[in-house]
Structure 1
Amino acid sequence: MSGAIEAVYIYDEHNRPLLTHEYTSRNLTATQLLPLFLGYPTPRPNLIYLPNTSPPTLVFSLVHSNLLFLLTSSSEIEPLLALEFLHRIIDVLEEFVGSPLIAHKVETSYDVVAQLLNEMCDGGAVSTTEPNALRDLVEVEGWIGKFLGGINIPGRPGPSSASSNNHMSGISSAGISAANTPALPWRRANVRHTSNELYVDLVETLSVTVAPSGRPVAAFANGTIAFTSKISGVPDLLLNLSTPSGRQNINSVMELPIFHPCVRLARWREKPGELSFVPPDGRFVLAGYGVDLLPVQNGQVGSTKSSNLKLPVSVEVKTSLGSTGSDFEVRLFITKVSGQGNSSLSGSSQTSGRASGRGGFGAGLGNHAGTSSTPALEDLVVTVPLPADVRNLSEIRASRGDTTYNPGEKVLEWRIPAKEASAGGATLRCTVVGPLSDDDDFEANGFKLDGRYDYQEEAYQSAPVKTASPEKTDEQKDIRKVAQNKILMPSSTSVSFSVKGWLASGIKVESLVIDTRKSRGLGEGVKPYKGVKYLTVSRRGMEIRC
């Protein structure tokens, strides 16, 4: 596939065209393309084929912050390339224009947006998309320059001199731009920081499914290594990762790893667990990986109990309790987990529970952050979805925390604050109320649905007629109630939580070293501050089937 990107369109929240940037000729206008795109019923796919245009056109779409981004191509093009290019456009615009990305910012910074789109794609072929490299290619005027833009400063060339030396200035600016263009496309040239800092954030998101018997069916963790580099010059870094069983097993723990282009893949293949790279300036995603928490052992997948996963929370659900089977109980067990241990970050002080005001991963999750030695369990929420036939919950009893139930949403939430999330057990017991049955509606008014009435039909006859009507015993009524309430029981329960200072996979940062021989412009005696943070998150990712 050697297709080309022909044009990029941006529309505001009211589908009003904001910008059209063309890379090739003979493209559809923004007003022509929009009705063809909106003609497809929702939900619209990210790729739409328009066969009735001349020539037939592929339309790639993406919605971000209520802005609609469209990309067109009349030739066969790799879909992932086009969609990734739209994602890069959004990331770059947020970096230069500001986040959140709104229509007003795009309109007021049209000159910057046009330069960015022109540098990111050349003649339909994707070019420079790294924000750090674009900063050296795109001129962004600050507020002082905008304020002084209309003032004729002595020594500043006026319009006449600028027009007379247009050719020479173009050559000189091109030479300066080429000279300042960094050899590394992901890092800006001449980076300077007054305080040199390096931060590593390891974040894992859990996805666990537990069968009614308590046996885990599937357990995965998706990990992200976020890196923040605020260091002068061009540093060459070496990050060492390890597992509880040693660095030699890092390949068996980390599955399908992906890396930022700055990582030297040959070094990783030669020595798994070692990440050698020259970082971009600022915050970026260094690597991503997946972990199977239920590896295959002796030909069998998983373990017999969910407690063997060593998760900080385990849940048991019992349904159809009580004499009529209208109660269900959720038992929550909180277990203290061991931390990741201390990392050997040579050359500086280090911490794994630094203040969240830095704005990195895990910022805003509490005033007292957990450390690798004492992990902290926070944001513990148990969510119980209820069937549509449940009319209400007549009784809710929780031994810890607070409960929230809205009959319209059919969802029960049980929140346990961090100060009450200590090791031990907690119980939630509820009583469900089903829909009104026919017997409840009519028998209360003296009517029977089996053809009988409360009054005696033959009361006026001289000879009374004895009618024997078999009545149901209490045991039979209870059995019937249990069968009716069985369909009102929850079928699953999900758990959300976050743990600071702990990872489910056990991966940890062993060391972070600056190679002074390969680094340039760092300065003598510079020892940057280094910090590591671990965070495990479950956003309804732990599901227990009933």
Structure 2
Amino acid sequence: MIQSIFILDKDGRVIVEKNFRGIIGRTVVDQFADEVVKHSPFFTEVPPVIVTQRYYLIHVQTNGVFFLAVVSRDVVPLLVLEFLTRVSSIFSDYFGNLNEHVLRDNFITAYQLLEEMNDGGHPFNLEPNILTDMIEVPNLINQTAGMVLGPGNTIKSSLPDSTLSRVPWRKANVKYTTNEIYIDIIDEIDAIIESNGSMTTSRISGSVVVDCQLSGVPDLVLRFQNPGIMEDLSFHPCVLISRWEREQVLAFVPPDGKFKLLEFRSKGNIMMPIYVQPHISFSEGTGTMSVMVGTKNVTDKVIEDILVKIPFPSNCSGISLTSKVGTVDCDENTKLLTWRIRGLTPKQPAPILEGSFAWDAETVPIKPVLSVEFTVNTWSASGLKVDSLTLLNENYSHFKGVKSLTKGGKIQIRL
């Protein structure tokens, strides 16, 4: 199915190359890099599937790192995209904050993981529990040992414990002194907002992430107060689909550790917890811009880690915008201005970013498209709530915790 996988940085340089069905020339990478350059710095707008004369180039992008699959036959694109997404997720679990520098430092482990996750071009082993039993997570000790004894020492000689378990995604004989399970409901808002504040398109993509630290083989039943607000659901293989279709209840034997139990899209109305009001004006060779950021009365929680990005066009120069709140940074090479605000409370006055810039009067003035990111702890934009979590076949006492988190995803504000 998949001929080769290339992992590239944002400049199109190859970090990792893995061929499964013969060697593919790197000219396909050059074709993909041309598409990346066209959309720079908006890498998320690169088409996920690119058709060339000989191959299909399918990719996902994480933190400026591109996971590119080269396919020579007709396949279901979503299958390849899901595989690449799982590869990116497992790499993040192994290496922490995934970026090109971390991959270069751990490229041997990356090759070993790709070898286990794909067999002859077909997805094979994508369970993090099994992979961590086979290939050690990089740390200072095994990295030092690898420098002394060679790179192969990170592969364990014994079979994973999960091969002895009756469920392939869970280790056998798991034991904890304190049994705990934590459930995180994570909502991500995507929207395109016009200059008058109206939303052209909007959606909430949610996920339920579970961190399971329970002994034995627990059989869990999770009930929601309002399961009807979810649609386009995607489940972890541990979930009994028939039980959900019949009762709207999640029954599952969880993997050990952290995993994504469920992904969904919310049906409800979208309530943006933040607003961004930009204004720009042009005169002969100069321009002025102001951006106001404030909170809306949809939650009493603090809006944290606010990041406003303003990509000025290439015909602008001398960009000088300042604010009394947060930090402002402008890259003269990419013309990208970033404004970071640590947090805003509902009663806090709305901060303003303002200043001027110069532009080439012989060219046509171009209005930039702003983007904003943020996080809101202990608040769910979708409104999804957990009703109960029941442990059926184990008798020990255990602690349960539920937390909500809302993040700003792909939010664009047009001028």
Q: Same fold (TM over 0.5)?
A: yes
**Deviation at residue 381 of structure 1 after TM alignment:** 3.1
Contact 2:103 2:110 in 1 (8 A): no
**Take 1:395 and 1:178, find their aligned partners in 2: how far apart are those partners?**
57
Deviates most, 222-231 or 403-412: 403-412
**Take 2:405 and 2:77, find their aligned partners in 1: how far apart are those partners?**
34
Structure 2 residue 186 is the aligned partner of structure 1 residue 203: yes
Q: Structure 1 residues 50, 61: CA separation in 2 closer, same or farther (over 3 Å shift)?
A: farther
Contact 1:238 1:275 in 2 (8 A): yes
Question: Corresponding residue for 2:42?
Answer: none
Q: Secondary structure at the match of 2:243?
A: helix
Structure 2 residue 350 is the aligned partner of structure 1 residue 426: yes
Structure 2 residue 369 is the aligned partner of structure 1 residue 512: no
For 1:410-442, what per-residue CA distance to the aligned partner results, in whole angstroms no more than 9, with x for missing partners?
444443332x5452432526353545879xxxx
Contact 2:113 2:135 in 1 (8 A): no
Question: Corresponding residue for 1:543?
Answer: 412
Contact 1:386 1:488 in 2 (8 A): no
Tell me which amino acid in the other structure corresponds to 2:262.
A
Match for 2:238 among 232, 252, 262? 262
Where do residues 430-509 of structure 1 align in structure 2 (5 Å cutoff)? Answer: 430-435=354-359, 490=367, 492-509=369-386
Structure 2 residue 311 is the aligned partner of structure 1 residue 311: no
**Take 2:242 and 2:182, find their aligned partners in 1: how far apart are those partners?**
24
Question: Corresponding residue for 1:330?
Answer: 291
Tell me which amino acid in the other structure corresponds to 1:257.
L
Tell me which amino acid in the other structure corresponds to 2:406.
T
Contact 1:97 1:106 in 2 (8 A): no
Aligned residues: percent identity? 26
Tell me which amino acid in the other structure corresponds to 2:411.
M
Contact 2:113 2:131 in 1 (8 A): no
Match for 1:276 among 251, 258, 266? 251
Question: Corresponding residue for 1:533?
Answer: 403
**Deviation at residue 380 of structure 1 after TM alignment:** 2.0
The answer for unaligned runs of 5 or more in structure 2 is 36-47, 146-157
> What is the total number of aligned residue pairs between the two structures?
378
Contact 2:4 2:121 in 1 (8 A): no
Where do residues 103-142 of structure 1 align in structure 2 (5 Å cutoff)? Answer: 116=116, 121=119, 128-132=125-129
**Deviation at residue 329 of structure 1 after TM alignment:** 3.8
Structure 2 residue 340 is the aligned partner of structure 1 residue 415: yes
Q: Structure 1 residues 62, 401: CA separation in 2 closer, same or farther (over 3 Å shift)?
A: closer
**Take 1:437 and 1:535, find their aligned partners in 2: how far apart are those partners?**
46
**Deviation at residue 545 of structure 1 after TM alignment:** 2.6
Instruction: Indicate the structure (1 or 2) with the bigger Cα radius of gyration.
Output: 1
Q: Structure 1 residues 61, 402: CA separation in 2 closer, same or farther (over 3 Å shift)?
A: closer
Tell me which amino acid in the other structure corresponds to 2:407.
V
**Take 2:406 and 2:296, find their aligned partners in 1: how far apart are those partners?**
15
Contact 1:400 1:427 in 2 (8 A): yes
Question: Corresponding residue for 2:208?
Answer: 225
**Deviation at residue 102 of structure 1 after TM alignment:** 5.0
Tell me which amino acid in the other structure corresponds to 1:542.
I
Contact 1:255 1:290 in 2 (8 A): yes
The answer for unaligned runs of 5 or more in structure 1 is 22-26, 52-56, 147-172, 295-308, 339-373, 439-483
Contact 1:61 1:70 in 2 (8 A): yes
Contact 2:164 2:172 in 1 (8 A): yes
Question: Corresponding residue for 1:288?
Answer: 263
Question: Corresponding residue for 2:43?
Answer: none
Q: Structure 1 residues 199, 391: CA separation in 2 closer, same or farther (over 3 Å shift)?
A: same
**Deviation at residue 277 of structure 1 after TM alignment:** 0.9
**Take 1:406 and 1:97, find their aligned partners in 2: how far apart are those partners?**
28
Contact 2:223 2:388 in 1 (8 A): yes
Q: Secondary structure at the match of 2:379?
A: coil
**Deviation at residue 229 of structure 1 after TM alignment:** 0.7
Task: Name the Cα RMSD after superposition.
Answer: 5.0
Tell me which amino acid in the other structure corresponds to 2:252.
F
Structure 2 residue 252 is the aligned partner of structure 1 residue 375: no
Contact 1:403 1:414 in 2 (8 A): yes
Contact 1:385 1:490 in 2 (8 A): no
Q: Secondary structure at the match of 2:382?
A: coil
Contact 1:188 1:280 in 2 (8 A): yes
**TM-score of the aligned structures, taking structure 1 as reference length:** 0.54
Q: Structure 1 residues 99, 183: CA separation in 2 closer, same or farther (over 3 Å shift)?
A: farther
Contact 1:331 1:425 in 2 (8 A): no
For 1:295-346, what per-residue CA distance to the aligned partner results, in whole angstroms no more than 9, with x for missing partners?
xxxxxxxxxxxxxx54322233344499x996544333323544xxxxxxxx
**Take 1:330 and 1:390, find their aligned partners in 2: how far apart are those partners?**
18
**Take 2:204 and 2:56, find their aligned partners in 1: how far apart are those partners?**
36
Question: Corresponding residue for 1:366?
Answer: none
Question: Corresponding residue for 1:216?
Answer: 199
**Deviation at residue 49 of structure 1 after TM alignment:** 7.9
Q: Secondary structure at the match of 2:349?
A: strand
Tell me which amino acid in the other structure corresponds to 1:208.
A
Match for 1:184 among 150, 164, 167? 167
Q: Which has the higher contact order (CA 8 A, sep 6+)?
A: 1
Q: Structure 1 residues 527, 94: CA separation in 2 closer, same or farther (over 3 Å shift)?
A: same
Q: Structure 1 residues 500, 113: CA separation in 2 closer, same or farther (over 3 Å shift)?
A: closer
**Take 1:488 and 1:261, find their aligned partners in 2: how far apart are those partners?**
52
**Take 2:109 and 2:368, find their aligned partners in 1: how far apart are those partners?**
52
**Take 2:215 and 2:200, find their aligned partners in 1: how far apart are those partners?**
48
**Take 1:102 and 1:200, find their aligned partners in 2: how far apart are those partners?**
29
Deviates most, 60-69 or 376-385: 60-69
For 1:441-481, what per-residue CA distance to the aligned partner results, in whole angstroms no more than 9, with x for missing partners?
xxxxxxxxxxxxxxxxxxxxxxxxxxxxxxxxxxxxxxxxx
Q: Secondary structure at the match of 1:425?
A: coil
Q: Structure 1 residues 262, 327: CA separation in 2 closer, same or farther (over 3 Å shift)?
A: same
**Deviation at residue 264 of structure 1 after TM alignment:** 1.4
Structure 2 residue 42 is the aligned partner of structure 1 residue 42: no
**Take 1:16 and 1:431, find their aligned partners in 2: how far apart are those partners?**
40
Q: Structure 1 residues 63, 429: CA separation in 2 closer, same or farther (over 3 Å shift)?
A: closer
Tell me which amino acid in the other structure corresponds to 1:494.
S
Contact 1:382 1:495 in 2 (8 A): yes
Q: Secondary structure at the match of 1:188?
A: coil
Q: Which structure features the higher share of strand residues?
A: 2
Tell me which amino acid in the other structure corresponds to 1:283.
K
**Deviation at residue 491 of structure 1 after TM alignment:** 5.1
Contact 2:286 2:356 in 1 (8 A): no
**Deviation at residue 225 of structure 1 after TM alignment:** 1.1
Contact 1:319 1:489 in 2 (8 A): no
Deviates most, 229-238 or 312-321: 312-321
Q: Structure 1 residues 223, 93: CA separation in 2 closer, same or farther (over 3 Å shift)?
A: closer
